[in-house]
Amino acid sequence: MRQSVPLSRAELFVLFSYLLVSSTPFLPLLFGREISDWVPLLGTEVIAWMALWAVFKRPLYFHLLLLPAFLALPAELYLQAYYGQSLSAHHLAILAETSPGEAREFLGHLGWLFVLVLIGTSAWWCACWQLCRRYNGLDWTDSSRTVLLAVFGLAAGLMLYQSAYDLGKKDALRTADRNWLSALGAELPALPRWLAISLDAERFGRSRPLGLAIAAHEFRSERNHLAALADTNRAFRFGAVQGGEGDARRTIVLVIGESSRYDRWGLNGYVRDTTPLLRSEPNLVSLSDVVTSVSATRLSVPVLVSRKPALDSLKAGFSEKSFVSAFREAGYKTWWVSNQMSFGKFDTPVSVFAKEADVVQFQNLGSYKQRSSYDEVLLKPLVAALQDPAPKKLIVLHTLGSHWNYSHRHPREFDKWQPSLFDLDNPVHTDPAMKARLNNSYDNSILYTDWFLSRVLGELKALGQVAGMMYVADHGQTLYDGTCRLAFHGHNNQHEFHVPALVWYSDAYRERHAEKVKVLVRNRHAKLSTENVFHSLLDMADIRYETERLEWSFFSSRFKRHKRYVDSYGWTDYDNASFRGDCREVIAKDKPLPQVK
């Protein structure tokens, strides 16, 4: 860079723009949050910028690479303001798995503002592009560039050498996994410690703008991993068999709820009678203390339907199949019927498990329509499944439950508590002025869920056979509680981790499995998590397998408590945490466990 010539205002504008797109990792400071490693993070950004500028010489030559960072800036601001999070592979996956209809509901009347911001950001990037073409004052032309290129080249060579050496040693005992790089590394001598240079990938991934490449790479790796899971897990077997009288006709239904919180159900003590129908069911047990490990559907459902540990919630995929395959091994015909948006082109963490079923039906097409289908769309496929001649059936119903927009989750006849969101066009959940309407509509959606579940129970009762239903929500919601200025989910709040769960059993089930019912009732107030669902659902159906863990089943007399970890500033032990403020933010009393993605 030619420091002897004063920079023009245009060139200063370009520099200021680059400073802005680099500042997002430090936004938590703007919102009163701490960054423990801000000095090394800042150093990482400075080194990355110097390397980029040295390699390309002119901003004109690397400006195209910065387009994603410009476009991501509004999203980064939004995520930091409302969720205290930086843009990551998880958020990119949510975008890829969100239909236009869902996006429209989520943005509400701010959809037009989003389009304008996108246009404005694109225009901002284009303006910088034109200025880079017209002015060359930011070109790096002096000898310092050559010196730095030599330094960076040497550092890159040392890092490549160290990587080859590490890979060679790691694969030394796995010759089948060795490639030319690991083979070369196996022959290399170790570098002196003072020459060993490594890149902190996690810190680089948090830097901007180049760190976005890490998020994009992780997103692509997750997609490839999920796409390959079907082949990877094809040979996996639980060795599951039907216990007891295996020839008896039986039906098990699991209903996966969406965005439902425990304390808004009337049968759990809520002041409003949001569950009048379920409250009158004699064979129904509400589990009072169930938590989910993470408040996002795509991460919480895999833990619910498989043996994936809570501590692995943030990792893509899982090396085992779900309970669906275990039921199939035990002779059940299986259905997965969903009112969630269809998974479309990509496999998702949920769909890879859904596709294990004999019959997979996605009832919600996720079009541009304002209102998606109500959960009652699942009743017709349920009836068809119950009429199937198969003697043993597992039916999974994945509902939309209380997914935003809450008023779109139920017909007008369930619009009981008002004023509500029902007649508002495109409301925004981030507007605190909507608190009363938002809460009323949320309660109305629970009232509709009560009706839907009672219809499911009605169909099961009509069978007159051994039957059971389990309902568990994937996560809860924050609803401007008290002085809390937050709503929706994705935060670290108790109301998003504590979820409603209940079990219903038929009279015939109670007669055949009296001891299981007795234990279930005894454990109704036990400290549970969604990790217990896999083990409990199979035990409920009396399906046995060699690696079963009955101490994780709340139907078993062997049941034992286990630590319940939730995603709150690391993996926090939920039962060794305090709840701060009206938001009920989960704060660990001890140091949380680190998270590995």
Instruction: Give the tens place of pLDDT for each residue, 277-312.
Output: 999 999 999 999 999 999 988 899 999 999 999 999
Lowest-confidence pick of 4-13, 175-184, 332-341: 175-184
Lowest-confidence pick of 242-251, 418-427, 513-522: 242-251
What is the DSSP code string of 224-255? HHHHHHHHHTTT-----EE-SSTTS-EEEEEE
**392 forms bridges with which residues in the sheet?**
250
Helix (H) or strand (E) holding 103: helix 100-107
pLDDT at 174 over 90: no
Predicted confidence at residue 383, as pLDDT, reads: 97
Distance CA(423)–CA(440), nearest Å, equals 13
Lowest-confidence pick of 168-177, 342-351, 450-459, 528-537: 168-177
At 100, give phi and psi (nearest 5°).
-55, -35
The rounded Cα 247 to chain-centroid distance in angstroms is 39
Distance CA(470)–CA(535), nearest Å, equals 13
> In this structure, are residues 433 and 470 in contact, taking their beta carbons and an 8 Å threshold?
no
Q: Is 183 helix (H, G, I), strand (E, B) or coil?
A: helix
Global pTM value: 0.74
Distance CA(185)–CA(559), nearest Å, equals 49
Tokens of 244: 């007891």
Predicted confidence at residue 493, as pLDDT, reads: 96
Distance CA(206)–CA(3), nearest Å, equals 30
Q: Beta-strand (E) ranges in 99-218?
A: none
Q: Quick one: DSSP state of residue 290? A: E
Q: Beta-strand (E) ranges in 258-410?
A: 284-291, 333-341, 359-364, 392-398
Tokens of 435: 């608190």
pLDDT at 176 over 50: no
Q: Beta-strand (E) ranges in 333-491?
A: 333-341, 359-364, 392-398, 466-473, 478-479, 487-488
Task: Answer with the residue of higher pLDDT: 89 or 60.
Answer: 60
Burial of 468 (0-12, 13-18, 19+ CB in 10 A): buried
Tokens of 37: 């490693």
Contacts of 131 (CB under 8 A, 6+ apart): 10, 11, 13, 14
Q: Quick one: DSSP state of residue 417? A: S
Place of tokens 């503002």: 113
pLDDT at 121 over 90: yes
Distance CA(254)–CA(476), nearest Å, equals 18
Looking at this protein, which amino acid is placed at residue 405? N
Closest CA to 521 of 289, 287, 290: 287
Tokens of 534: 């896999």
- Using pLDDT thresholds of 50, 70 and 90, give the confidence band for residue 345: very low
Distance CA(76)–CA(85), nearest Å, equals 8
Mean pLDDT calculated for residue range 456-476 = 97
**375 forms bridges with which residues in the sheet?**
none
- Using pLDDT thresholds of 50, 70 and 90, give the confidence band for residue 18: very high
Q: Is 521 helix (H, G, I), strand (E, B) or coil?
A: helix
Closest CA to 524 of 260, 291, 293, 289: 289
Total residue length of the chain: 597
Distance CA(403)–CA(518), nearest Å, equals 34
Distance CA(322)–CA(316), nearest Å, equals 15
Q: How many CB atoms lie within 10 A of CB 505?
A: 23
Long-range contacts of the stretch 116-122 (C-beta < 8 A, 24+): 117/74, 118/71, 118/74, 121/70, 121/71, 121/73, 121/74, 122/70, 122/71
> In this structure, are residues 71 and 212 in contact, taking their beta carbons and an 8 Å threshold?
no
- Model confidence pLDDT, tens digit, residues 391-422: 999 999 999 999 988 999 999 999 999 999 99
In Å, what is the CA distance from 82 to each residue of 418, 437, 439, 491? 26, 20, 18, 8
Q: Is 258 left (phi over 0), alpha (psi -120 to 50) or beta?
A: beta
Tokens of 470: 């389990």
Tokens of 560: 């034992």
- Model confidence pLDDT, tens digit, residues 563-575: 999 999 999 999 9
